[in-house]
Structure 1
């Protein structure tokens, strides 16, 4: 999955039908033709843009629709999976409104027809036979679970995101294929939708199966699987609400899919330490009688990732280095930029190394059969990332800025008409900016951008310079009414400009309900035109929050408690350090020794100069306070499952030295909830 720091997502119920904006004095009124969440009807201009796309792509090519159904064994009608507290974490029936018919499809006017094609393909659910000995479960979660038959049982590839979805998927496979021992589990990469359901699989194993189970993952897997979720997880989680349409209804004017699949499932997440790591030097294994040839691909779609080839099956698992979409060099939730040339080179390496493949299957989407088809698919993906990299750098060296390059660059016709290269998840514009960022960072070298004012202050000054909020709003309203008169090629740019104008009004005067309403309506139109599912969800989520305000439900660390239990201790302390409130900590000087009694590990935490450092300690290390605690209790304390005062002064925690110092130390650690504003100041 693209890097999803996906741990931090948790879908919540749709707010009430007539929810009001919590941040403004006057509610944003729904238009007469609005849906239940307030999303307005597509304008004539939006309809014109979407219809114009129908003549630019080969919509009469039905091969994907044949491949996506090939090997179908069975599915579950109206599949709904429940998670903690009886919450619904997966509901395929919510997407029953998505149908695809005829040469051009029947895309509603509120959905880009190319995206509608993709989400229709991603709507196919069930158990599939790819060839003898290889099966795949799709749409039990965002990712696929693949089952490979071995001499004495099954090898599971990517056990989904959540315990609950993994149990449901594996149970369904056992119902139709019979129950066999699980001999190994393969994590193809370090994104949670490919390992988070491990506890579900483990819960279905016998004691003997667990004792002999192999867990195979790429080198660096454990470190990468937990790092971003602790350090930047709160901010990523908030942005992920927009990227995956957390609050949007599943409807023709709401969330229709993510481009990779339908969306993330957020139930109970787990993690386990691998028993076998694959790197450049360890690339062949025999797993319960099945020969595997691995390709180690770190720094491609994930920091820790591999693909593999099954020579006896002539089957190539591409993990996520190739997908039925252009992928992200930069992901909207936020992540480290990915290396385009390295990614392209890994695809080329796999194409050569596994050139005899007759079957391709991946972590998402549907398979490809036939050597020629697989080679063509991989060549196009390979050259797409290489072209984006090389042409961005060329234009960068000519002095163009990232925004300019994003407007200038187009893929050659041979690449842009392939549906598997379309921007359903990653996009050309954002990948261009990612390449620029990788080399040049955020600064474009324009001195005006060297030390710009922050957004809210900039907005106030712009609005004042343009004659005030009312005048800017009036002009934006006039522009919006005239968009219908423009050619299809001009519409998108005009809506983008209107959004920029109104965004300044909202940031200068957040109580301006008319500007919010028109900005929300503009975001609706931009969302309806977007070919990228994350772009659509971002626009429509922005519109949603302008109308309804920000949910007061943030992230709870207890949701990832099982992951934290497997997290190396030093990662906790790194996270603690970035959450220290430096202003309140000024002048404090404290030392805390933490003795993990169950791990026989000791650490010294040092607070001085408003920073926290940690280092390994021992019995002779001196500290103002020493706490003797088990790792699980420490986690309960951090995630809030154990009360601070009750724990500090209870019998389960032994404290030597000043309890007051420890209490002071812990109270200096902020606990951000991820409920900050995005579309308002």
Structure 2
């Protein structure tokens, strides 16, 4: 946990500080919210004590965020729900209605309650004249900058429906104006997926609307979640708690905002790429200096300085949270050293002159002193995460110890904008060690470890069997030693997935650990694990995360690489071929080989003496990529021409595995029916935080 100043804390925390814990009701009062799961439990006295001790060091007297979150308020939406064309709910803040009261919920860490209440400050806000934000319509903000003739929009959210709803609110309050440009700050989907809700692609093609993005945007917008996208889809259910009801006992906000919009994402390719480290553009009379910041919060990202108004827009590199160095859904580990350097450069280039700083999440900061405070604080946060983790590593602290050793210095941790609302000191410190030293902790016994299902039975046997473990696990649970209880109960569940008593007791343990977390991703992961231990795997059709725009944005090479990931080597042991793929409409060619159960490709070459040559326009190939048409149908109707042994392609198609994101994360004997899917369908793209 972070250390910070002991200033003030909520009432139920004070009970413990003053030694009055017996006066706090541990069981639900008549007006207390009901747990959504019949097997769920309220927070124990031990959990309440842990939360109280952690919260005692938090600066609750610092109310500046509430003042900033309310400043410039113009109007709230008429409806807290946004629906899609089929009547589906895309965005729903009504389900978080419990945060509209001042009531404290003992099952939610007070710091998490605080940021969730701040994120419930929803509507249209004036930052300064000419700069407006709609906040609370998605995980991110959408920002409108007034030009001479129309709006320049910064980050059009995740889904078209919420972007359109935000634009409608702007039109109603500020008057209708056309959109003349859209800026994508970076490659994560909640910052571009809603573009079709506010822009017609025909206007982009006609030059009426510019789409501006940093260098590397298209590559990273598509590629980050392609190859492990199915696994990420499953892990998102844990980090974002997508299967948990919004409840004081379940999902209680996501730190950056309450949650992610649920509509179908779209993507219009940029017309202008910011290539240089610093590049100035004037759009509709508005001068903007862009600063590329790759390798911090995203592999492709840019900030904007508006010199005339002294407004600095940070994208997502500087927000009101300690962000993810490692994101639990999975992604390449980020570099906090580079991240800190970007912020420091921005501080000295813009921050010393800025009157206002705003971002893609949370609320702006006004006044140069406040701007510099936040920039320095965030700079130090990421630099310290990098340096202090390596300080420990260089003294022998391993990846399996660092999270229990690392402590954020008090001067950093006492600032609300440095709290672990998205990343956490625990998983971010491990990420730094992993980035520099990898997964191995230096113990030869962990170099080639047994799989948990193979090692766990030995642990159970040596501990005296399941009955003894359950008795000891219950004692540890009752004593509030939840992490010790987890250590032995997890071994039992790994060894005996169908042991109902073990699953339920481990669920009780994880639920209490979840309640104790300030960090939403950690909270959600423990609570989702508890829910699945009690109720089994998530039911219903798994989500399809493909969208036509994103699939079209894949390069042909990315698509071929993804087919290689989906190929089951055991089904093609005796199959081998060489082929050339030619897409005449964009003049691409690829040499493709299947050998040793492995599919490879290289752009710009043709194979010698191919077994097969396939000619298909890229536009027709996209129909195959999206699963709208089979390759066999394309060959039969003549939109694709195959010279050679076409049966090789059909054999390859039969060896492609359909991934579905409903595999067990926790040992389970359940079997889940596979989703029907065209074998060529590309499943990609997730919320990128």
User: What's the TM-score, normalizing by structure 2?
Assistant: 0.88
**Which range is displaced more, 229-238 or 140-149?**
229-238
Alpha-carbon distance change, 559 to 465 in structure 1, aligned in 2, over 3 angstroms: same
Q: Are the counterparts in 1 of residues 184 and 191 from structure 2 also a CA contact under 8 Å?
A: yes
Partner of 1:339: 335
Deviation, 1:622, is 4.7
Alpha-carbon distance change, 57 to 173 in structure 1, aligned in 2, over 3 angstroms: same
Tell me, in whole angstroms, the C-alpha distance in 1 between the residues paired with 2:455 and 2:558: 38
Give the one of 215, 240, 256 matched to 2:252: 256
Q: Are the counterparts in 1 of residues 399 and 440 from structure 2 also a CA contact under 8 Å?
A: no
Tell me, in whole angstroms, the C-alpha distance in 2 between the residues paired with 1:359 and 1:100: 31
Give the one of 284, 287, 292 matched to 1:288: 284
Deviation, 1:442, is 0.5
Tell me, in whole angstroms, the C-alpha distance in 2 between the residues paired with 1:600 and 1:206: 25
Q: Does 1:512 align with 2:502?
A: no
Q: Give the alignment of 1:480-519 within 5 angstroms.
A: 480-483=477-480, 494-519=481-506
Deviation, 1:553, is 4.9
Tell me, in whole angstroms, the C-alpha distance in 2 between the residues paired with 1:225 and 1:97: 35
Tell me, in whole angstroms, the C-alpha distance in 1 between the residues paired with 2:396 and 2:482: 27
| Secondary structure of 2:124's aligned partner | strand
Tell me, in whole angstroms, the C-alpha distance in 2 between the residues paired with 1:471 and 1:111: 33
Cα-to-partner distance string for 1:576-604 (whole Å, 9 max, x where unaligned): 11221112221211234333354343333
Cα-to-partner distance string for 1:172-216 (whole Å, 9 max, x where unaligned): 21222122121111111111110111222223x774885232211
Q: Are the counterparts in 2 of residues 557 and 639 from structure 1 also a CA contact under 8 Å?
A: no
Q: Are the counterparts in 1 of residues 322 and 417 from structure 2 also a CA contact under 8 Å?
A: yes
**Which range is displaced more, 636-645 or 528-537?**
636-645
Deviation, 1:49, is 2.2
Give the one of 310, 315, 320 matched to 1:319: 315
Alpha-carbon distance change, 648 to 117 in structure 1, aligned in 2, over 3 angstroms: same
User: What's the TM-score, normalizing by structure 1?
Assistant: 0.89
Where relative contact order (Cα < 8 A, 6+ residues apart) is larger, the structure is: 1
Tell me, in whole angstroms, the C-alpha distance in 1 between the residues paired with 2:177 and 2:35: 52
Deviation, 1:100, is 5.5
Tell me, in whole angstroms, the C-alpha distance in 2 between the residues paired with 1:107 and 1:565: 47
Tell me, in whole angstroms, the C-alpha distance in 1 between the residues paired with 2:558 and 2:536: 34
Give the one of 641, 644, 660 matched to 2:628: 641
Deviation, 1:671, is 2.0
Q: Are the counterparts in 2 of residues 33 and 41 from structure 1 also a CA contact under 8 Å?
A: no
Q: Give the alignment of 1:83-122 within 5 angstroms.
A: 83=84, 85-99=86-100, 101=102, 106-122=103-119
Q: Are the counterparts in 1 of residues 399 and 439 from structure 2 also a CA contact under 8 Å?
A: no
Q: Give the alignment of 1:261-660 within 5 angstroms.
A: 261-354=257-350, 355-483=352-480, 494-551=481-538, 553=540, 559-616=546-603, 622-643=609-630, 646=633, 649-650=636-637, 652-660=639-647
Alpha-carbon distance change, 68 to 518 in structure 1, aligned in 2, over 3 angstroms: same
Tell me, in whole angstroms, the C-alpha distance in 2 between the residues paired with 1:454 and 1:379: 44
Q: Are the counterparts in 1 of residues 47 and 512 from structure 2 also a CA contact under 8 Å?
A: yes
Alpha-carbon distance change, 406 to 573 in structure 1, aligned in 2, over 3 angstroms: same
Tell me, in whole angstroms, the C-alpha distance in 2 between the residues paired with 1:94 and 1:196: 23
Tell me, in whole angstroms, the C-alpha distance in 2 between the residues paired with 1:671 and 1:617: 29
Partner of 2:52: 51
Q: Give the alignment of 1:159-170 within 5 angstroms.
A: 159-170=156-167
Count of equivalent residues: 635
Deviation, 1:644, is 6.3
| Secondary structure of 1:184's aligned partner | strand
Partner of 2:71: 70
Deviation, 1:157, is 0.3
Structure 1 unaligned spans of 5+: 1-31, 484-493
| Secondary structure of 2:599's aligned partner | strand
Q: Are the counterparts in 1 of residues 35 and 249 from structure 2 also a CA contact under 8 Å?
A: no
Q: Are the counterparts in 2 of residues 190 and 225 from structure 1 also a CA contact under 8 Å?
A: yes
| Secondary structure of 2:70's aligned partner | coil
Q: Are the counterparts in 1 of residues 295 and 334 from structure 2 also a CA contact under 8 Å?
A: yes
Alpha-carbon distance change, 379 to 575 in structure 1, aligned in 2, over 3 angstroms: same
Q: Give the alignment of 1:205-284 within 5 angstroms.
A: 207=203, 210-284=206-280
Partner of 2:152: 155
Cα-to-partner distance string for 1:480-517 (whole Å, 9 max, x where unaligned): 1222xxxxxxxxxx212212211111110000011111
Tell me, in whole angstroms, the C-alpha distance in 2 between the residues paired with 1:209 and 1:583: 46
Tell me, in whole angstroms, the C-alpha distance in 2 between the residues paired with 1:291 and 1:421: 31
Tell me, in whole angstroms, the C-alpha distance in 2 between the residues paired with 1:286 and 1:546: 56
| Secondary structure of 1:656's aligned partner | strand
Tell me, in whole angstroms, the C-alpha distance in 2 between the residues paired with 1:84 and 1:674: 26
Tell me, in whole angstroms, the C-alpha distance in 1 between the residues paired with 2:71 and 2:100: 18
| Secondary structure of 1:603's aligned partner | strand
**Which range is displaced more, 435-444 or 549-558?**
549-558
Cα-to-partner distance string for 1:610-649 (whole Å, 9 max, x where unaligned): 1111134679965323334343543343443335665554
Deviation, 1:474, is 1.5
Tell me, in whole angstroms, the C-alpha distance in 2 between the residues paired with 1:633 and 1:663: 18
Tell me, in whole angstroms, the C-alpha distance in 1 between the residues paired with 2:357 and 2:288: 15
Deviation, 1:555, is 5.2
Deviation, 1:59, is 1.2
| Secondary structure of 1:496's aligned partner | helix
| Secondary structure of 1:423's aligned partner | coil
**Which range is displaced more, 647-656 or 497-506?**
647-656
Tell me, in whole angstroms, the C-alpha distance in 2 between the residues paired with 1:208 and 1:456: 54
Tell me, in whole angstroms, the C-alpha distance in 1 between the residues paired with 2:333 and 2:159: 26
Alpha-carbon distance change, 578 to 470 in structure 1, aligned in 2, over 3 angstroms: same
Tell me, in whole angstroms, the C-alpha distance in 1 between the residues paired with 2:566 and 2:514: 35
Tell me, in whole angstroms, the C-alpha distance in 1 between the residues paired with 2:504 and 2:471: 13
